[in-house]
Amino acid sequence: MSSVLSLNKTRSRWLTFGLLALGLALLPFLVDAGLGRSWVRLLDLALLYVILALGLNIVVGYAGLLDLGYVAFYALGAYVYAWLSSPHFGLHLPFWAVLPLGAALAALFGVLLGAPTLRLRGDYLAIVTLGFGEIIRIFLNNLNAPVNITNGPQGINLIDPVRLGSFDLSQSHALFGYTFTGIHLTYYLFLLFTLMVIFISMRLEDSRIGRAWVAIREDEIAAAATGINTRNLKLLAFAMGATFGGLAGGLFASFQGFISPESFNLMESIMILCMIVLGGMGHIPGVIFGAVVLTLLPEALRYTGDWQRNLFGQIYIDPADLRMLLFGVALVAVMLYRPAGLLPSTRRRREFADAQG
Amino acid sequence: MSAPKAAPSPSGKLDAGSTPLLTVSGVSKAFGGLQALSDISLQVHTGEIFGLIGPNGAGKTTLFNALTGLYSINHGEIRLYGRRIDGRKPHQVLHAGLARTFQNIRLFAEMTALENVLVGRHARTTSGVVGAVLRLPGTRREEADSRERSHALLKRVGIAQHAHRLAKNLPYGDQRRLEIARALATEPRLLALDEPAAGMNPAERAALRELLLQLQADGLTLLLIEHDVKLVMGLCTRLAVLDYGVKIAEGTPDVVSRDPKVIAAYLGDETL
Amino acid sequence: MDIFLQQLINGLVLGSVYALVALGYTMVYGILELINFAHGEITMMGAMVALSVIGALALAAPGLPGVLVLGAGLVVAIPVCVALGLLIERVAYRPLRHAPRLAPLITAIGVSIILQNVAMLIWGKQYIPFPAILPQGRHTLYGASITDVQIAILLLATAIMLLLILMVQKTRLGRAMRATAQSRQVASLMGVDVNRVIAATFAIGSALAAVAGVMVSAYYGLAHYYMGFLLGLKAFSAAVLGGIGNLGGAMLGGLLLGLIESFGAGYIGDLTGGFLGSNYQDVFAFFVLIAVLVFRPSGLLGARVVERA
């Protein structure tokens, strides 16, 4: 009886998995046909933000360290990619070498920045990381003289797209009788990395390391008294989060072909924070949900412009300006009314099932 | 340099040659102008249940915090099996074999009971990020072993039925037991319990008493802060009494309860 | 010598504004152990409201003396900021007083974003110039120059700080505030209405912020919806530098930070052989903040925090 049941369970699990894979594979074509090409681009960005949000989720959601300078690692990954793969220094290293390098450098910086600050209490840490983020941005903006390292506010242009041998991912290609445009191909590349990051996050969550992080978040003193080396594990969380940030940065640079300090301001950090708070801190499906919704939000908000025109005959509030306001309201509202996020954690559900069974 | 009362009381259970597991010598701790601990010395021997009693504010919990590395001490030294543990970080003290529970229960509220105990396994396991992500055979073995032990410990303290409930939703008495299970998961040589019976009803107290005696029978050494005098007197092989940060007495329950200094310290305190 | 004196004057003026804003952070932190992230935005709101009033008045009654117009701006800006501060405390912080530490911090960030964007919707994205209503006098002092506005800022800031110290030391409310800062629980047992004290703290801090906002916009001659962010961060750094929770510390920290920035910006070019210029002025506050937190988290005047388990 139970074996039949478990067999059914495995089969349905594979079925779900297969459907999900099929859906993800077809998604860009469905979106392209239904909503237009600009939405496929948005889809690519959404995947990028899923990576970023899952990275920050390790630091904030698991280990409970409020990092407001997360965007610094994102910037680092992007600039490393731009330096090594653009005419700026005349270097054109392949992406499979540059991407890991950027991620590793970001991890190293995560440890370097984390080491002196991790003794601080939560709210101080928030301010200090915010300060670090701002320092990095100020340096990016000003390190164009006397030696031109970052090219200042103009940023770095003509960054190489991802190339596999002679296969340029930013161009259209005819494969299996279909034409795949650059943004479609990028989708699959990003999807690959996103799935990898989700996989790593899931495995870590349900492991000795993940439990230690959550223990630190819940009660740092009790965690230390239970044998956890809190300093090392916090540093590890910082490094892991920074790795994902650096990775996303490299992907972003290759995708855009252009980066400037403007893309890495505090509001970006806050938006990523918003994603995990909205979806549910420390809860992977929630974080993914939050990242996707908030990436698509500005596009959806565009419709408010049409409504305004229909209702009042003119646009009073630029939809783009509405975005940050809504983020602010969302942060407050979620904390007040649904502190666990919009997607309740499986743990709650597990408990519920437990109580029933 | 005065040891107020030598402890010449090898009770029936203790053989004279037993090794001191924990040696506290001349430990002092001050907070600003407040002397919380003055020149405390005591020895806990392998296999005994050693009680630490005294009126509120006597310095018992401060001593616990000093022993477990949460406070740094100003003077003196603390040794576990002859190795210095003062000046070490809390997780290092735990690694050395001294685990504890807290007076004001400190569980990981948003984790299940099982996960709380699994966190206790952290110190005795080694798998890292790579092992976790790739689920290497070693990690899988370790994880399976941890889960098995943790379930066994939950059963042992009597809360196996709560394994998948969040710690914060457990009844009070069960939270105390879960804290003990978590501490036991770290495989301590010495378990320090800070008022484990506080807030328990008589039935729970009786069960706790049974549990502690069993642990002792299994070879664990216990250090116990407790206000329930009946429990302390019936359970402990020896006692030390603190008052205003000073050790005023030490010995078997019989000897201590007749000590005039102890009676004076507790005068007006209904607990003795 | 005159450059030195000039940086000293600039630093003191800037620093006294930082000090006023820092007081708001430190008072709230002292009582609630909460970083009121939105405090910088309240300063911005003060500047914006005052500028609107001043602009309207200057247009409606061009003959009015500048000081009167400025006074009218303050008279409107202060109550608006106080109301805003009270509202924020009531809606965004009070319900979370017993929530995990991260929660009020996140709502605070949310509130600060809301205020910024509301200000942007009301006043637009452009810089708003400070109307030319104030005396433009400039005095020379041993080769350095000091303007009437600078003198006014210094005098007003000093007066306000003295008043605040007097209030905290001598009045019933001040005593209640100090008691609440020591222990909320004990204070409430002793009959202090803790909620009222907290509200009063927010009100006073917001009033100071309003004044500081007007000062800053008068000093730089403009206001902007985003000005509160950096100002708030710097003021917070100043509060930490002096020892957070300590009123005297906030004042000292503010002045010191003003001086550090002013001298730093003035001399960084020489110190780094021209590698870094005065465009790095904003970095100093962050370096000070990080250095203080890492090496002396209790700040200059703060008592060493007793380790707690």
CB contact under 8 A, C309 and B70: yes
Query: What residues does A164 pair with on adjacent strands?
Result: A167
B98-100 vs B190-194, strand pairing mode: parallel
Tens of pLDDT along C136-152? 778 887 878 888 888 88
Tens of pLDDT along B131-149? 999 999 999 999 999 999 9
How far out from the chain centre does Cα C286 lie? 16
Closest CA to C163 of C14, C259, C23: C23
CB atoms under 10 Å from CB of A258, counted, come to 15
Please name the member of A119, A325, A336 whose beta carbon is closest to the beta carbon of C117.
A325
Q: How far apart are CA A198 and CA B138, in angstroms?
A: 23
Which chains lie within 8 Å of chain B at 3 or more CB pairs, if any? A, C
Closest residue in chain C to residue B104, using alpha carbons only: C309
Give yes or no for a contact between C220 and C33, defined as CB atoms under 8 angstroms apart. no
- Fold classification of B17-97+188-272 (topology level): Rossmann fold (3.40.50)
Please name the member of B68, B111, B139 whose beta carbon is closest to the beta carbon of A225.
B68
Tens of pLDDT along C244-256? 888 888 999 999 9
Q: How far apart are CA C172 and CA C184, in angstroms?
A: 16
Min Cα distance C306 → chain A (Å) is 14
The interface predicted TM-score of the complex, written ipTM, equals: 0.88
Question: Over chain A, what is the mean pLDDT?
Answer: 85
Q: Is B32 left (phi over 0), alpha (psi -120 to 50) or beta?
A: left
CB contact under 8 A, A339 and C99: yes
Q: Give the DSSP H or E segment for B140.
A: helix B137-156
Residues in chain A within 8 Å Cβ distance of B188:
none
**What's the mean pLDDT in A69-75?**
93
Coil/strand/helix, residue B43: strand
| Segments making up each domain of chain C, as ranges | 20-226
| Segments making up each domain of chain B, as ranges | 17-97+188-272, 110-187
How far out from the chain centre does Cα A50 lie? 4
Tens of pLDDT along B175-210? 999 999 999 999 999 999 999 988 888 888 899 999
Unique residue bearing structure tokens 């680092």: A76
pLDDT number for residue A352 = 46
Both tokens of C101, joined, read 């530490």
Question: Which of A201, A220, A226 has the most B C-beta neighbours within 10 Å, making it the best mutation to test the interface with B?
Answer: A226
Q: Report whether the peptide linkage leading into residue B171 is cis, meaning its omega lies within 30 degrees of zero.
A: no
Tens of pLDDT along A170-192? 777 777 767 777 788 889 999 99
Tens of pLDDT along B56-83? 888 899 999 999 999 999 999 999 988 9
Give yes or no for a contact between C37 and C109, defined as CB atoms under 8 angstroms apart. yes
Judged by CB atoms within 8 Å, which residues 224-243 of B form the interface with A?
none
Residues in chain C within 8 Å Cβ distance of A317:
121
Give yes or no for a contact between A126 and C236, defined as CB atoms under 8 angstroms apart. no
CB contact under 8 A, B110 and A218: yes
CA B95-B99-B102 angle, 5° bins: 140
CA separation, residue B135 to residues A14, A229, B146, C138 (Å): 20, 22, 15, 73
Beta carbons within 8 Å of A322's beta carbon, 6+ residues apart: A301, A304
pLDDT number for residue C148 = 86
Min Cα distance C166 → chain B (Å) is 29
Q: How far apart are CA A205 and CA C114, in angstroms?
A: 33
Residues in chain A within 8 Å Cβ distance of C238:
none
Residues in chain C within 8 Å Cβ distance of A128:
289-290, 293
Q: How far apart are CA C184 and CA A87, in angstroms?
A: 61
Question: Which of A208, A209, A240, A349 has the most B C-beta neighbours within 10 Å, making it the best mutation to test the interface with B?
Answer: A208
Any C CB within 8 A of B32 CB: yes
pLDDT number for residue A354 = 44
Q: Which DSSP symbol is given to B19?
A: P
**What's the mean pLDDT in B157-162?**
93
Any B CB within 8 A of A354 CB: yes
CB contact under 8 A, C306 and B70: no
Closest residue in chain A to residue C90, using alpha carbons only: A336
CB contact under 8 A, A207 and B139: yes
pLDDT number for residue A249 = 96
Judged by CB atoms within 8 Å, which residues 112-151 of A form the interface with B?
none
Unique residue bearing structure tokens 């920290």: C253
Q: How far apart are CA B110 and CA C102, in angstroms?
A: 15
Tens of pLDDT along A225-259? 999 999 999 999 999 999 999 999 999 999 999 99
Closest residue in chain A to residue B113, using alpha carbons only: A351
Share of chain B above pLDDT 70, in %: 91
CA separation, residue B62 to residues A229, B100, B103, B249, C281 (Å): 22, 13, 11, 18, 47
Residue C275 — pLDDT band, cuts 50, 70, 90? low
CB contact under 8 A, A128 and C290: yes
Q: pTM for the complete prediction?
A: 0.86
Min Cα distance A214 → chain B (Å) is 8
Closest residue in chain C to residue B65, using alpha carbons only: C309
pLDDT number for residue B16 = 43
CB contact under 8 A, B127 and A208: yes
Please name the member of A215, A236, A354 whose beta carbon is closest to the beta carbon of B119.
A215
Unique residue bearing structure tokens 């300078």: A69
Does the pLDDT value for residue C1 go beyond 70?
no
Tens of pLDDT along A101-139? 999 999 999 998 888 777 777 778 888 888 888 888 888
Min Cα distance C309 → chain B (Å) is 7
Beta strands in chain B (DSSP E): 20-31, 34-45, 49-53, 75-80, 83-84, 98-100, 190-194, 221-225, 238-243, 246-251
Any C CB within 8 A of B71 CB: yes
Please name the member of A203, A219, A355 whose beta carbon is closest to the beta carbon of B133.
A203
Residue A164 — pLDDT band, cuts 50, 70, 90? confident
Judged by CB atoms within 8 Å, which residues 277-306 of C form the interface with B?
306
Both tokens of A105, joined, read 């450098």
Q: Is C171 left (phi over 0), alpha (psi -120 to 50) or beta?
A: beta
Please name the member of A209, A219, A229 whose beta carbon is closest to the beta carbon of B106.
A219
CB contact under 8 A, B143 and A199: no
Residues in chain C within 8 Å Cβ distance of A146:
274-275
What is the phi/psi pair of residue B51, to 5°? Answer: -95, 145
Does the pLDDT value for residue A215 go beyond 80?
yes
Residues in chain B within 8 Å Cβ distance of A346:
none
Min Cα distance B250 → chain A (Å) is 27
Query: What residues does B50 pair with on adjacent strands?
Result: B223, B238
Q: How far apart are CA B6 and CA A17, in angstroms?
A: 71
Give yes or no for a contact between A160 and A95, defined as CB atoms under 8 angstroms apart. yes
Closest CA to B52 of B252, B199, B226, B220: B226
| Residue A40: Cβ-neighbour burial (10 angstroms; 0-12, 13-18, 19+) | buried
Any A CB within 8 A of B127 CB: yes
Any B CB within 8 A of A204 CB: yes
Give yes or no for a contact between C52 and C222, defined as CB atoms under 8 angstroms apart. no
Largest CA distance in chain B: 65
Q: What is the DSSP code string of B208-250?
A: HHHHHHHHHHTT-EEEEE-S-HHHHHHH-SEEEEEETTEEEEE
Please name the member of B31, B65, B70 whose beta carbon is closest to the beta carbon of C306.
B31
Q: How far apart are CA C85 and CA C45, in angstroms?
A: 11
Residue B18 — pLDDT band, cuts 50, 70, 90? low
Tens of pLDDT along C195-251? 899 999 999 999 999 999 999 998 888 899 989 988 998 999 899 888 888 888 899
Any B CB within 8 A of C307 CB: yes
Min Cα distance B70 → chain C (Å) is 7
List strands edge to edge, sheet with B238-243. Answer: B98-100, B190-194, B221-225, B49-53, B238-243, B246-251
Q: How far apart are CA A297 and CA A182, in angstroms?
A: 23
pLDDT number for residue A38 = 82
Helix/strand/coil (H/E/C) assignment for every residue in chain A: CHHHHHHHHHHHHHHHHHHHHHHHHHHHHHHHHHHCHHHHHHHHHHHHHHHHHHHHHHHHHHCCCCCCCCHHHHHHHHHHHHHHEECCCCEECCHHHHHHHHHHHHHHHHHHHHHHHCCCCHHHHHHHHHHHHHHHHHHHHHCCCCCCCCCHHHCECCCCCCEECCEECCCCEEECCEEECHHHHHHHHHHHHHHHHHHHHHHHHCCHHHHHHHHHHHCHHHHHHCCCCHHHHHHHHHHHHHHHHHHHHHHHHHHHCCECHHHHCHHHHHHHHHHHHHHCCCCHHHHHHHHHHHHHHHHHHHHHHHHHHHHHCCCCCCHHHHHHHHHHHHHHHHHHHCCCCCCCCHHHHHHHHHHHC
Residue A5 — pLDDT band, cuts 50, 70, 90? low
Please name the member of B94, B139, B143 whose beta carbon is closest to the beta carbon of A226.
B94
Any A CB within 8 A of B109 CB: yes
Min Cα distance A333 → chain C (Å) is 8
Across the A:B interface, residue pairs with CB atoms under 8 Å apart total 115
Beta carbons within 8 Å of B105's beta carbon, 6+ residues apart: B172, B175, B176, B179
Q: How far apart are CA B253 and CA A57, in angstroms?
A: 53
Q: How far apart are CA B27 and CA B244, in angstroms?
A: 14
Q: How far apart are CA C92 and CA A12, in angstroms?
A: 45
Q: Give the DSSP H or E segment for C12.
A: helix C2-32
Give yes or no for a contact between C96 and A336, defined as CB atoms under 8 angstroms apart. yes
Tens of pLDDT along A6-31? 667 778 888 888 888 888 888 887 88
Any B CB within 8 A of A240 CB: yes
Closest CA to C157 of C147, C145, C169, C165: C165
Any A CB within 8 A of B71 CB: no
| One-letter identity of residue C120 | M
Residues in chain B within 8 Å Cβ distance of A351:
112, 164-166, 169
Q: How far apart are CA B240 and CA B251, in angstroms?
A: 7
Alpha-carbon torsion, ordered C67, C69, C72, C77, to 10 deg: -100
